[in-house]
Amino acid sequence: MEVREATADDGPAVRSIALRSMEASYSLSPSTIEGAIRQWYGVDSFTEKLEDDDVLLLVAEKDGEPVAFSESVLVDDRGDIHWLHVAAMHRGEGIGQQLYEETRERLEDAGADRIRGLVLAMNSGGNRFWENRGLTKVGEGTVEIDGTAFVENIYVDADAVELQPVVVDDRELYIDRTDSDRGSDGAFYTVYTDEERDSQYGYYCGACDSLATSMDSMGRLVCDECGNQLKPTRWDAAYM
């Protein structure tokens, strides 16, 4: 199996792999899946990903044909693996494991000192994949799919869990540096009131070091101080 960076010519193959992978992994309607493919892997969206220096798109080939792909992003010094899709007909051949290892190595070469994986809570196979890779579930988030919010699980290396204490108005809070998402100008980190992360306080803007952030009902974050904003657009992977 050969793993290489994706090119513009890979668009049709990536869309086909993602479509069949999602159909095999989710009990979602065909229109929902097709809408997601258009939104995240349409011609314009695919081109934007290829041109984004922080996004890593890798394609795995078998006998010269694309059979899997991964999509990851660098957030500060952390590598987030958002998608790892294997064509349904090639599952069970160890392709997902090989692609994961290559993806991780390239993220680390690009400067990531820790890895985070995200997967919908409903995807039992995807959750097992991260657990079998030795990652630990450290929290939950939400992702919007066709106008509906779904719970997603967050996995990190067991030794990468990091909480940063911060005092605000004489109250000690904890910034979770493993739980973040890219914003327009910097990362957003989840803030908790306790070290056990049982009670979420809000969010911390990495662009201006401010806790003055707000969120609407669909999870769109915006920093009141600097305007840094995040609109959730990702889908979790079908890991095999």
pLDDT reported for residue 101: 96
- pLDDT score of 237: 43
Of the candidates 52, 65, 55, the residue with the CA atom closest to the CA atom of residue 16: 65
**Residue ranges for the chain with pLDDT beneath 50:** 235-240
Cα dihedral 93→97→103→107 (10° resolution): -170
Give the long-range contacts of residues 167-171, CB within 8 A, separation 24 or more: 168/211
Q: What is the pTM of this model?
A: 0.72
Residue pLDDT, tens place only, 151-194: 888 888 867 667 788 877 777 888 887 777 788 888 888 899 88
Closest CA to 103 of 81, 130, 136, 88: 81
Domain ranges in the chain are 2-158, 161-230
Per-residue confidence (pLDDT) for residue 236, from 0 to 100: 44
| Amino acid making up residue 143 | V
What is the DSSP track for 1-66?
-EEEE--GGGHHHHHHHHHHHHHHH----HHHHHHHHHHHHSHHHHHHHHH-TTEEEEEEEETTEE
Q: What pLDDT does 240 receive? A: 47
Burial status of residue 83 (CB atoms within 10 A of its CB: 0-12, 13-18, 19 or more): buried
Q: Domain 2-158, what fold?
A: Aminopeptidase (3.40.630)
pLDDT score at 213: 66
